Amino acid sequence: MSKAYLILEDGTVFEGEGFGAAATGLGELVFNTGVVGYIETLTDPSYYGQIVMQTFPMVGNYGIIEEDFEGECAVKGYVVREWCREPSNFRSQYDLDAFLKAKGVPGICGIDTRAVTQRIRERGVMNAMIADRVPEDLSALKNYAVTGGVAAVSAKECALYPPVGPKQCDVTLIDYGTKRNIVRELQGRGCAVMVVPPTVSAEAILSGQPDGVMLSPGTRRRTPPASTRSKSCWARCRCSGCAWDTR
């Protein structure tokens, strides 16, 4: 593997080894503390535009299992202490390196993830870059912002998912970048789930006479949904869930 660098917007540089796609990754650096679930993390739409770092030291030991995908991979980079080159799991289809290459996502390993995590916790979330060299000009890194996330990862058209077992109710799920497991959990509780794009009007949603409306999680930081559509739905039927900002 070739040498690679994780560069933070404050100028801190961590040296490691590159794997995954041979590309430069620029994004907002965040960390995930999960012991398992890296497949779900890599395919979680809410990480759109971000470089994800795993704090657990060994990642990739059970390979990649496409049945566990939560959506399309939307991360800009992946940071780990160590990745497993020989996964061992009867469900494994291929390894982490092959997945990142296929998705065009650069990775870096051999990084002291504890030190990076501590820096983020002390100074707050910051932008970062994965590259094969350290640029002299960090202005692009400092000016980066996650934008257009909801449009990129949300549903483009309506889709109906039938309940598993006897039908209990009808739920409309407004998709701001929902994970597939949210739909599966609702189906398993007897819900017929109508997934709609975030651009659908309140009138269109309410015309379907749902028993409830759910606003999915989505990209970037959470903010209370304050649109007229959301308020109209709240006033006329049961609503639950949370919406993230639509930047």
Q: What is the CATH number of the domain that holds 60?
A: 3.50.30.20
pLDDT at 74 over 50: yes
Query: In terms of domains, do 73 and 164 share one?
Result: no
Other Cβ atoms less than 10 A from the Cβ of 58: the count is 13
DSSP line for 210-237 = -SEEEEEEESSSB-----HHHHHHHHHS
Percent of the chain with pLDDT over 90: 78
Q: Which residues are paired to 32 by β-bridges?
A: 54
User: Residue 218 domain-assigned?
Assistant: yes
Mean pLDDT value across the chain? 90
191: helix, strand or coil: strand
Q: What is the predicted pLDDT for the residue at 37?
A: 95
Measured distance CA(109)–CA(33) in Å, rounded: 16
- In which band, very low, low, confident or very high, does the pLDDT at 224 lie, cut at 50, 70 and 90? very low
Q: What is the predicted pLDDT for the residue at 223?
A: 43
pLDDT at 245 over 80: no
Query: In terms of domains, do 124 and 32 share one?
Result: yes
Q: What is the predicted pLDDT for the residue at 238?
A: 60
Query: In terms of domains, do 8 and 58 share one?
Result: yes
Which CATH number belongs to the domain containing residue 209 in this structure?
3.40.50.880
Pick the last residue of a domain from 117, 146, 175.
146
Q: What is the predicted pLDDT for the residue at 222?
A: 41
Least confident of 38-42, 122-126, 163-167, 222-226: 222-226
CA angle 182, 52, 35 (to 5 degrees): 70
179 lies in which domain range? Answer: 151-241
Q: What is the predicted pLDDT for the residue at 1?
A: 75
Tens digits of residue pLDDT in 137-151 = 999 999 999 999 999
- In which band, very low, low, confident or very high, does the pLDDT at 33 lie, cut at 50, 70 and 90? very high
User: Residue 247 domain-assigned?
Assistant: no
pTM strictly above 0.85: yes
User: Residue 29 domain-assigned?
Assistant: yes
Least confident of 109-113, 157-161, 237-241: 237-241
Q: What is the predicted pLDDT for the residue at 145?
A: 93
User: Residue 91 domain-assigned?
Assistant: yes
13: helix, strand or coil: strand
Q: Are 233 and 205 in contact (CB under 8 A)?
A: yes
Calculate the alpha carbon distances from 156 to 151, 159, 160, 175, 187 in Å.
Answer: 8, 9, 13, 9, 21
Q: Are 108 and 130 in contact (CB under 8 A)?
A: yes
Query: In terms of domains, do 55 and 131 share one?
Result: yes
pLDDT at 186 over 50: yes
Average pLDDT score over residue span 173-180? 92
Query: In terms of domains, do 103 and 31 share one?
Result: yes
Which candidate, 153, 167, 154, places its Cα nearest to that of 74? 153
Query: In terms of domains, do 32 and 132 share one?
Result: yes
User: Residue 246 domain-assigned?
Assistant: no
pLDDT at 226 over 60: no
